[in-house]
Structure 1
Amino acid sequence: MINLEVPKKFAALVNQARQSAAEVFRPNSRKYDHAEHSYPHELDMLAAVLDGLNSSGQGGASGAGGVRRASDKGDGVRNGGNMSTALGTIELCWGDVGLLLSLPRQGLGNAAIASVADDEQLERFAGKWAAMAITEPDCGSDSAAIRTTARLDGDEYVLNGQKIFVTSGERADAVVVWATLDRSKGRGAIKSFVVEKGTPGFELVRLEHKLGIRASDTAEFRLDDVRVPKENLLGSPEINTEQGFAGVMQTFDNTRPLVAAMAVGVARAALDETREKLTEAGLAPDYDRPPHRQSSAAATFLELEADWEAGYLLTLQAAWMADNGRPNSLQASMAKAKAGRTGTDVTLRCVELCGTLGYSENSLLEKWSRDAKILDIFEGTQQIQQLVIARRLLGKSSKDLK
């Protein structure tokens, strides 16, 4: 049986994350929403503290640096790095999603390295801030359609292609690039490579201007005969057409619950703010009365809270399964789909409930509604998650169910 209450051993971590959100993220939230592409130097001290926690084995308060799947179930029940990171992410995104994504050495590329790197690679890339580059101009939701190529030449791979929408791409020390070893062999030839910044031919083309998460930079790269050591390939170099690209896709099983946690956090922030506004207006929801016997605003709020609770529990379930070595592809996609959609719905409807107060920059509600949208898109869109879920439930392959 899975107990989805917050483990007592993580109480201090959750409290520290909430304090960081309240004292560092919230006060700087609007500042870096306006100052797009400016690096938030206020995060440097917080990042140093998180580095210390990670190195001491107590990490997981934020980001993805400590996420790694358990190798087996063992005899007991684990609440490890995936659960602690999800809980910390929820609290920090209660403060600001864009600033969480701007934390040094806590990028999605770090999650990719933690998920599939061997021990030597883990040690070699320790302390580096890694972004992740998957999307291309002609390849969005269908990761298998990647056109960026990797060709082995002696002791190096030569990469050519273009990557867009790379979160923290400009600021990161390295980028985990998805590329194909042989396009004719389909999904099984897709591999991920760690490309360090400053590598000749690895060019930053531009930074995106965005609807939300403006504190986080989003970059476009061009790869022109970029040479990386063959030791920078994550996972096995062998092309296994029967297995598909399960190795690189394993990254999503760990990062999708994190994106779900981000959505849960920002939706929780909107609900907390809206409850305060409703209470001030004399419309506080009453949990001892049925919704139909309350005001329309209070009934709507209770509906939103119930929706949020479902996304929250699915997120914790997916993280718990990863900690306990259980296959969680289905649950990871369910969490991402539910929380991503709920984050968007909750924040927008909270703006509606608060009227002009929610639409004005006097409140962070309008900002949260903008920030939440990306959480329903990246790491696999809502539609892709539903497709993955359908395949898993029906036992269909990607060829059977497109």
Structure 2
Amino acid sequence: MINLENPKKFRGLVHQARQVAENVFRPVSRKYDRSEHAYPVELDMLAAIMDGMNDGTTGEGAGAGKLKQDNKHKGEGVQNGTNLSTVLSLAELCWGDVGLSLTLPRQGLGNAAIAAVADDEQFKRFGGKWAAMAITEPGFGSDSAAVRTTAIKDGDEYIINGEKIYVTSGERADCVVVWASVDRSLGRAAIKSFIVEKGTPGMEVVRLEKKLGIKASDTAAITFTDCRIPASNLLGDPEVNVEKGFAGVMQTFDNTRPVVAAMAIGVAKASLDRTREILKSLKIDAAYNRPLKTSAQLEAQLYRYEAEWEAARLLTLRAAWMADNGQPNSMEASMAKAKAGRAANAITLGCVEMLGSLGYSEDELLEKWARDSKILDIFEGTQQIQQLIVARRLLGKSSAQLK
């Protein structure tokens, strides 16, 4: 049975993450929001410290650590491992700044993908590198099965051709996890993920995107033209299993969607905390011993937002906890991502509205948090995609039966 309190062994890690958020991220948050594409040099020393924190643990990392469906300890009692520690610490980091959290070297979504499916040899080669994730293409967004980038086997190599857009950390990362089809005639079952290292001939960053939020994080468009990589850079099973279909590649999302949900929880909590402080300074103080119907309108709205945030937090912890305990969590991961993404958008924008001109101006970080939150309901699968996945799981329908 899941315990709703943070495990004692993670409290030090969570405290350290809050200190980083408050003392490293917050002071430079506005600086890098205004200087899009400038590299936050303040993070280099922090990244080295976090690497040490990861190396000094038995798997529970400070960021995107060795995320896996942990079947090794299945049946040995309740396990609180890497997945849970990651979402707890990342929520704290994103309480400071989402864009800076995404910019931490070696803590990216590509790292989570490698950790989820890489074998021991691949993890030894790439586990210490900064990895970006390249899925989206100009011709599609939410439908990951519509991948047009190809990876054709040629002896001991694969030749990759195609274009990827909205690649988080695409310019800064040491390598990119690229989704490509090994045989487009076989449909989604032929989609595999490949690690392409920076500097590989045929790989080119063609532009950096200007964005609504998370401006501290670089977002790149990358082309692959006859880009050759070793066959050993393919993640997972090289065989195309039509019966298994897309499941092998999609397993990555079961680990990364709770991670994105944790980011949403963090930025939503930041907005709630600051709004509560400002309202208190205006003599509007939350009184939780009073019935909702007798509360002031602003107080009542704040209570509703807090309830939404708590629901999202618990769903996220459940999805991560299930992964740590070897339980299939595809539906729960999508539920957490859908709820947290939607709640973060509603809460951050709602807090801006509640505080009027103070929430809308750059005197406060509230307007920035509202902008930053939008992407968290989009990447790693939009709100609509998550709802579709949940519906398929509940109804026992395949993707062909329920579109």
TM-score scaled to structure 2, two decimals? Answer: 0.98
What is the CA distance between 1:57 and its match in structure 2?
2.2
2:46 matched to which residue of 1? 46
2:195 matched to which residue of 1? 194
| CA distance in structure 1 between the partners assigned to 2:274 and 2:184 by the alignment | 50
What is the CA distance between 1:187 and its match in structure 2?
1.2
Counterpart residue identity of residue 370, structure 2: S
Summarize the Cα distance change of 1:211–1:367 in structure 2 as closer, same or farther, 3 Å threshold: same
What is the CA distance between 1:59 and its match in structure 2?
6.0
| CA distance in structure 2 between the partners assigned to 1:52 and 1:307 by the alignment | 35
2:22 matched to which residue of 1? 22
Counterpart residue identity of residue 242, structure 2: T
What is the CA distance between 1:81 and its match in structure 2?
0.3
1:281 matched to which residue of 2? 282
| CA distance in structure 1 between the partners assigned to 2:42 and 2:140 by the alignment | 35
Unpaired runs of 5+ in structure 2?
A: none
| CA distance in structure 2 between the partners assigned to 1:327 and 1:117 by the alignment | 18
Counterpart residue identity of residue 257, structure 2: R
1:204 matched to which residue of 2? 205
Aligned pair count reads: 402
**In the TM superposition, what are the counterparts of 1:305-316 in structure 2 within 5 Å?**
305-316=306-317
Give SS of 1:14's match: helix
1:215 matched to which residue of 2? 216
Post-superposition CA distance 1:153-176 (Å, at most 9, x none): 010000000000000000000000
| CA distance in structure 1 between the partners assigned to 2:89 and 2:75 by the alignment | 25
Aligned partners of 1:53 and 1:59 also within 8 Å: no
Question: Does structure 1 residue 94 correspond to structure 2 residue 95?
Answer: yes
What is the CA distance between 1:71 and its match in structure 2?
2.0
**In the TM superposition, what are the counterparts of 1:85-234 in structure 2 within 5 Å?**
85-234=86-235
Moved more, 289-298 or 157-166: 289-298
TM-score scaled to structure 1, two decimals? Answer: 0.99
Counterpart residue identity of residue 63, structure 1: G
Question: Does structure 1 residue 329 correspond to structure 2 residue 330?
Answer: yes
1:64 matched to which residue of 2? 64
Summarize the Cα distance change of 1:62–1:217 in structure 2 as closer, same or farther, 3 Å threshold: farther
2:250 matched to which residue of 1? 249
Aligned partners of 1:98 and 1:213 also within 8 Å: yes
Aligned partners of 2:115 and 2:127 also within 8 Å: no
What is the CA distance between 1:381 and its match in structure 2?
0.2
| CA distance in structure 1 between the partners assigned to 2:60 and 2:101 by the alignment | 13
| CA distance in structure 2 between the partners assigned to 1:125 and 1:217 by the alignment | 21
2:237 matched to which residue of 1? 236
| CA distance in structure 1 between the partners assigned to 2:321 and 2:133 by the alignment | 24
What is the CA distance between 1:8 and its match in structure 2?
0.8
What is the CA distance between 1:74 and its match in structure 2?
2.7
| CA distance in structure 1 between the partners assigned to 2:281 and 2:45 by the alignment | 36
The alignment-based identity, stated in percent, is 68
Give SS of 2:349's match: helix
Give SS of 1:171's match: coil
**In the TM superposition, what are the counterparts of 1:335-374 in structure 2 within 5 Å?**
335-374=336-375
Post-superposition CA distance 1:203-233 (Å, at most 9, x none): 1110000000000000000100000000000
2:297 matched to which residue of 1? 296
1:12 matched to which residue of 2? 12
| CA distance in structure 1 between the partners assigned to 2:39 and 2:63 by the alignment | 17
Counterpart residue identity of residue 64, structure 1: A
2:55 matched to which residue of 1? 55
Counterpart residue identity of residue 346, structure 1: I
Aligned partners of 1:62 and 1:92 also within 8 Å: no
- RMSD of equivalent CA atoms: 0.9
Give SS of 1:375's match: helix
